[in-house]
Structures are given as C-alpha cells and as structure tokens.
Structure 1
Amino acid sequence: MPDDKAQFNVYLPKDLIREIKHRGVDEGISMSALIEKIVRDYLEEKS
C-alpha cells in the first residue's frame, strides 16, 4: 500500500458525518482512516 495520500472533497449528509466521527472515536482511529477502511472493504467485497 503506498504511503502517499491525496486529499479530495466528498459531500455527505451532516448526520452521516456525525456518525462517522463518533465511530472513529469509538474505534480509536481518525475519520480519514475509518473512511479508507470502509472504502477498501467495499471495493474488496465487490471484486
């Protein structure tokens, strides 16, 4: 997995963002790390 990262904007409903932030806190990881995990899991499942 490459170490280089890029930033991009995604617009989500405010309530979903709040849930993501809370889940990150519960799991002890950043919001970015949680979103990365979710997307990677989704893409892996679909391949």
Structure 2
Amino acid sequence: MAFIAIIILGVFVLDTDMFGIFLGIMFALVIGLLIKYQYGVYKQKK
C-alpha cells in the first residue's frame, strides 16, 4: 500500500519525463524486496 502512495505522489510531484525513471527505480525496488523475501522464506523452509 505504501508503494502505491509513493507512486501516486511521484505522479503529482515529478515531471512526466522523470516519472518513467522514477517508476523504473520503484519497480526495481519492489522486485528486489520480493526476491529477498522469497529467498528468506526458502531458507527458513530448508
């Protein structure tokens, strides 16, 4: 939910050109966190 709020804020605050870069960074962060979480769960199961 926090990520959605940050993205919505980004739409209002940043230029449309900058938003593409911003969205890319946010997307990479979300994927990174998901992978880290999945890896943590996988290690615990073993």
Q: TM-score, normalised by structure 1?
A: 0.44
Q: Which has the larger radius of gyration?
A: 2
Higher RCO by CA contacts (8 Å cutoff, separation 6 or greater): 2
TM-score (norm 2): 0.45
